[in-house]
Amino acid sequence: MRAQRRDSSALNVHSTLYFEVLPRHLYVHVPFCARRCVYCDFSIAVRRTVPVDEYVGGIERELELRHFAAEPLELDTLYFGGGTPSRLGADGVARLIDAIRARVVLAPDAEVTLEANPEDVTPGATAAWRAAGVNRLSLGAQSFDDRILRWMHRTHDSVAIERAVDAARASAIDNLSLDLIFALPEELERAWDTDLSRALALSPQHISLYGLTIEPHTPLGRAHHRGQFAESPDDRYEREFLQAHEVLTAAGFEHYEVSNYGVPGRASWHNRSYWSGAAYAGLGPSAHGYDGCTRRWNRSAYTDWLAAVNADADPVEGQELLTAENRAAEDVYLGLRTANGLVMQQGDLAHVTPWIEAGWAAIANRERLVLTASGWLRLDAIAADLTVVRSRY
Q: All domains of the chain, ordered by start, with CATH?
A: 15-275 (3.20.20.70), 323-393 (1.10.10)
SS3 content of the chain, % helix, strand, coil (to 5): 40, 25, 35
Mean pLDDT over all residues of the chain? 92
What distances in angstroms separate CA 225 from CA 42, 189, 229, 231, 235, one per listed residue? 20, 20, 8, 11, 22
Q: What average pLDDT does range 92-104 have in this prediction?
A: 95
Of the candidates 121, 110, 116, 159, the residue with the CA atom closest to the CA atom of residue 138 = 116
In this prediction the pTM is 0.92
Predicted confidence at residue 67, as pLDDT, reads 65
How confident is the model over 241-274, as pLDDT tens digits? 999 999 999 999 999 999 999 999 999 999 999 9
For the cut 70, the answer to whether the pLDDT of residue 44 exceeds it is: yes
pLDDT-derived band at 1 (thresholds 50, 70, 90) equals very low
Predicted confidence at residue 16, as pLDDT, reads 40
Are 279 and 292 within 8 A, CB to CB?
yes
Predicted confidence at residue 8, as pLDDT, reads 31
For the cut 90, the answer to whether the pLDDT of residue 11 exceeds it is: no
Of the candidates 79, 261, 88, the residue with the CA atom closest to the CA atom of residue 178 = 261
Identity (one letter) of the amino acid at 220?
A: L
Find the DSSP H helices in 50-88: 52-65
How confident is the model over 112-139, as pLDDT tens digits? 999 999 999 999 999 999 999 999 999 9
What is the Cα–Cα distance from 333 to 379, expressed in whole angstroms?
A: 8
Are 210 and 177 within 8 A, CB to CB?
no
Residue 299 CA, distance from chain mean position? 18
Are 119 and 146 within 8 A, CB to CB?
no
User: Averaging pLDDT over each range in 7-11, 14-18, 283-287, 363-367, which range is the top one?
Assistant: 283-287
Tell me what percent of the residues of the chain surpass a pLDDT of 70. 94
Q: What average pLDDT does range 335-349 have in this prediction?
A: 95
For the cut 70, the answer to whether the pLDDT of residue 276 exceeds it is: yes
What is the Cα–Cα distance from 80 to 68, expressed in whole angstroms?
A: 18
Residue 122 CA, distance from chain mean position? 23
What is the Cα–Cα distance from 104 to 23, expressed in whole angstroms?
A: 11
Residue 12 CA, distance from chain mean position? 28
What single DSSP character describes residue 5?
A: S
SS3 26: strand
